[in-house]
Each structure stands twice: as C-alpha cells, then as structure tokens.
Amino acid sequence: RDVKKLIEEYIDECIDDACNEYLAKDYPARCAVDLAREVLDTAIAVERLRGKDREEMERRIREDAASDARAMIEVTLGEYISAEGSDVEVEFDSQGLASWAKSRFGVDIDLEEFEEGTLATRREIQDRLVEASEKMIQEADLGKLDLYLAEDYGIERLIAWTRMKFDITLTVDEIRAEIAGDRGSPRELIHSKAVMRYQDREVEYPIDYALAMTVMGMRQSPEAALEALIGWAKVRYGLELDADEVRKAGPAKMKSLLEEGIRKWFEEKQLDKALEEVSALPTVEKVDELLRTKYDGQVPDWLSWLDEEEFHAASRGLIEARLRPEMLQLEMTIMLDTLDQAWKDHLYAMDQLRDGINYQAFAQQDPKIAYKKQGSELFSEMLDGVQERVAEYIFKARLNPAASMPQPASSPQARPGGPAQGGFFGSSISGPGFAASNAPGGKGPAGDPSKAGQA
C-alpha cells in the first residue's frame, strides 16, 4: 500500500480528533473532571460540570468528592471492624486501621484508646475520618479551574498540540478566524500547514541523509565521497554541481545549494509527473522499458503476478523507491516499528484481560461478552495510539546512515551513483522495488554499490 498516503490519512485523522477534543464545548468540563480525579481522587460525570460557571463547578466537585469519601470510609472500615447489623463478624484489626487512617487521611488513632472493636468505637473513628476527609477536600487546590474556563483555553491547547506534533506555529487570531468563517473549524488551516511541513521534510530529509553519508564516506575516501554526492544530486534531481565549489563549500552552504535545487525539483512536480507516467503504463513490458531507459533498472518477476490494482500500486512503488528512497525508508520504518511495539503491548493487555475476565461474573456479566467488548476497546485504543505516534514521529524521527562503509578498492571504482537512485556506498536504504540481494553475499548487480537497490 502507498505508505505516504496512509500516513497522510493518519495525520488528517489526528487533526480531526484534536479539533474535536480541544474545541468542544465541554472541553473545560472534561479538564475539570481530570483535575478532580488527580487532586481529589474522585470520579465525576462530565454532565455534572458541563456548562457550569467557576463557582458552581467547584462546589459540585467538592460535594461529590465528600460524598465519595464518606462512602469509601464506610466500606473500608468494614475490613477492619464489624458494622452495625452485619451478619459477618470481623476481627478488629487495630494496627491495620491505624495505618490506613494515617496514610489516607493523616489521622492518628490512639490504639490504647480503642482497644475493642465495638460499634461505638466504629462510629467515633468514622466521624474522625469523615471530618478529616472533608477538611482535606475543602483545602484542596482547584485553582486550575480558572485556567480551564478561560475564553481561549481550548484554542491555546490546540495551538500547543500543533506545535508539539508538527512543529507548526499558529495564533489565537488565526484559529478564531477559521472558527468564525464558513468552515467553522481550523481543520483545513492545520491540514494545509501540515502538508507544507511534510513537503519541507521531503526536501530536507534526503539532504541531511546524503550529507551524513558523505561525511562518513570522507573518513575513507574524501574524493569518492564528494563524487558520490555530486552524482546523487545529478542522477536524482538533475542538479549540476561544480566539483570545485563542492570541495570548498562548508556543510551549511552545501545544504543551502542542495535545498534550493531540490525544492525547485519538487515545486516543478517532477515526482508527481514520474508517478503519473508509470501509472499510465498498462503492461509489465511497458514498465520494464521505462525502468531500463530512464532509471537503469528492470522490473522484478513478481510484478507480473499482480492484479491490475496491485500492479499499478507496485509500479508506483518502483519509481518511489528510486526518487524518494530515504523518505520511503523512514516512512516504512516508522510504520513497522510503531505497529510492532503497539501489537506486542496489545497482546500483553489481552493476556491480562483474559486472566481476570472470569471475575466479571461477580458483577452479573457474561465473561465472554465482557471479554469481547473490552478486547475491542483495547484494539481501538491500540490503533489510535499507532495513529498518534506515527503522525508525530514522521516529522521528528530520522534514520542513521549505514554504520559500516566498504573499504576503498584497489581497482577503479564504479560510478558513485547509478540512475536508479544515486545511492551512496553501503547505504541501508530499502523499500518496494529494492532487491533483497543487497545483503553481503547476495547476488546483486556485480557487487557495484552504486547499483544497490536496482530491481
């Protein structure tokens, strides 16, 4: 499948989710619910706080927290001392009760004062704990409610999210204008800026990779490394770099020269034209002819085994692997690594769920139905997590060039970069259309590193 298209879909879905979350009318209420859980360890329904002002919101949070605390104290005391009217006799655990009261509410219980677990003892201890809990609740700091209820809090959180995810800078006024406009949402604005950032990444990442490979190559053969860089720029992007200028240029200037030419190559839509050209070819023979004449390559045997839809997708992949191999490898690596770890975590979570699912029977629920429902929820959470991480990593991650470089040969070197991709020495770039025989000992094209990756 088109990996770039899939990642772009992930980015769009992340943008939609973020706009729906941060610009929702009940976002302040949901933040307040999280605050209550964090500060007071109490669960409150969003509906209880939705649309309420600062004072009413705080009052409801403290009331619900106090009610939950009283219920929790009533239930927990039953573990240490028998309740009135209970059919179950509990041995008075004064040490455990004192320890729990101290750790949970900061209340010191004199064990000598309460030697016996009578009902009077239980009532007195319960009153002390309730009083201590109410004091803690009233003294709890809920000052963040002012922040959550600020007029532009949701917009500011959305701006911070776009900066963190995509390194995009937006202003409150820009978001307000989009919300007030015909669209009613800043989705299109954020999407357009994310697309621009991806385009910048398409330009910058291959340059950074190429320069890193050049630096590594110069440790063994400076002249060959510079020739490889010049050949890569010429074969891939049609740039004519002067050898003397390249030798004199520092890294910053060299990057600037390459960026200018490569950005122009993308602005002229050379990649799109190449992909459209191969997509229009109806047969394997035509694709093979194109690869041989323009890219010094050939189609793999398996291309003829595919149906029409897969054939065109694979044909595009063959061209992508020659014109944007660095980004393609990055995209594939991020997708595979993220999915691999997420799937392992999901399987572990499913194992944990399976081990404890039979306890659902105590809650009058069918364990099989509960397992199916909760497993589906875990799977959805896994997919959402993959989507979020991939959308973020694609703008930040980078792959290190191959650590090992081939030793300079005594015989004349082959050209530094073949038309297939203009590669560097022992680059580890791979992807659709790249031969599996690139590994040491494989049956690659005469062992010529410049031809590595040709199908």
Domain segments of the chain as ranges: 24-145
Phi (first) and psi of residue 142, to 5 degrees: -115, 30
CA angle at residue 438 from 433 to 442, to 5 degrees? 125
- Strand, coil or helix: 400: coil
pLDDT in tens, the chain (455 residues): 589 999 999 999 999 999 999 999 999 999 999 999 999 999 999 999 999 999 999 999 999 999 999 999 888 887 777 666 555 556 667 788 888 888 888 888 776 666 565 677 778 888 888 999 999 999 999 999 999 999 999 999 999 999 999 999 999 999 999 999 888 899 999 999 999 999 999 999 999 999 999 988 888 888 899 999 999 999 999 999 888 888 888 888 889 999 999 999 999 999 999 999 999 999 999 999 999 998 888 889 998 898 888 999 999 999 999 999 999 999 999 999 999 999 999 999 999 999 888 877 777 778 889 899 999 999 999 999 999 999 999 999 988 876 444 444 444 444 444 434 444 434 443 333 333 333 333 433 333 333 333 33
What gap in Å lies between CA 29 and CA 57, rounded to an integer?
Answer: 8
Task: State the virtual CA torsion across 178, 180, 183, 184 in degrees, nearest 10.
Answer: 100
- 33 in Cβ contact with 49 (< 8 Å): yes
